[in-house]
Amino acid sequence: MRILVTRRMTHAAERALSERFDAKILDRKDGLSPEEAHEAMREFDAIMPTLGDRFAAEAFQGDLRCRLIANFGAGYNHIDVAAAAKSGIAVSNTPDAVTEATADIALTLILMTARRAGEGERLLRAGGWTGWQPTQLLGRHVTGATVGIIGMGRIGKAIARRCHFGFGMEVLFHNRSMVSALDLPARQVEGLDELLRQSDFAVIAVPGGAATRHLIGARELALLGPHSFLINIARGDVVDEAALVAALQSGLIAGAGLDVYEREPLVSPALCGMENVTLLPHLGTAAEEVRTAMAMKALSNLVAFSEGRALPNPVN
């Protein structure tokens, strides 16, 4: 079976993929355009894409050779799943492999933003640190604060465990459906508005896509208020970035920690110029073991497909 892998992977992953399949591995920094995705589906039996490859509806037109898109990642809003299904193409993802690492990044952003760690490092590297002072770079104490988690799926639950057991935080969450059987004390609130009003830290952990685009805008940021922080480790367009910039500049909220952006890899110059924002370059799963595990899970879907078995992680 001939497969296309759209980005370079870890050495272990590339070796495993090449040993099992006739694999072409692209060495490029940008994602496939819809036109390039269409051509790839005409040429290959299966494709292993990544975030940024645009498998839009128009890419699925005409006679296609491809019968599986084995996505490298849990989120798949860059793939028009309905159009794929209509063309007889299965889509799979890698949900479990990303959970713990992404939750770690959420806590990294909470701590860095609340304790002004990025600002402090920049001050020190620039030679501006003159020594310890009792009032220098005073931040927000995290232990015992209230965290509101927007989206209580696998990643949301992993974040909740870290916040509660690691920092004694009160955990609130908002989810589209009822969540039960949690292994920690957490309270589900009925509306997003209520969660934002009560949270010291609001953490976004919802899937991307049309249903959640601009879920957080100017109105929601005003509800969060001037003493609270927004953390986003989900998808960039869940937040109206222009509204976020305005809220940060005006002091409508205290700060933000971001690992994702509305127009990746472009980042607002205004965000880059503010000290009350922690900015990471989409590091959510950036650990070698995790990236290899993600590729191996995608490989398991490819192998199952090639052997005529049910996909371990079907999306459509």
Would you name the residues annotated as active-site residues? 235, 264, 282
Task: Scan for tokens 């899937």, then name that residue.
Answer: 207
The string of DSSP letters for 40-63 reads HHHH-SEEE--TT--B-GGGG-S-
Do the Cβ atoms of 101 and 287 come closer than 8 Å?
yes
CA distance 169 to 292: 32
Task: Scan for tokens 């892998």, then name that residue.
Answer: 5
Q: How far is CA 291 from CA 32, 52, 118, 240, in A?
A: 20, 16, 25, 29
CA distance 216 to 149: 13
Do the Cβ atoms of 193 and 199 come closer than 8 Å?
no
Nearby residues of 58 by Cβ (< 8 Å), 6 or more positions away: 34, 38
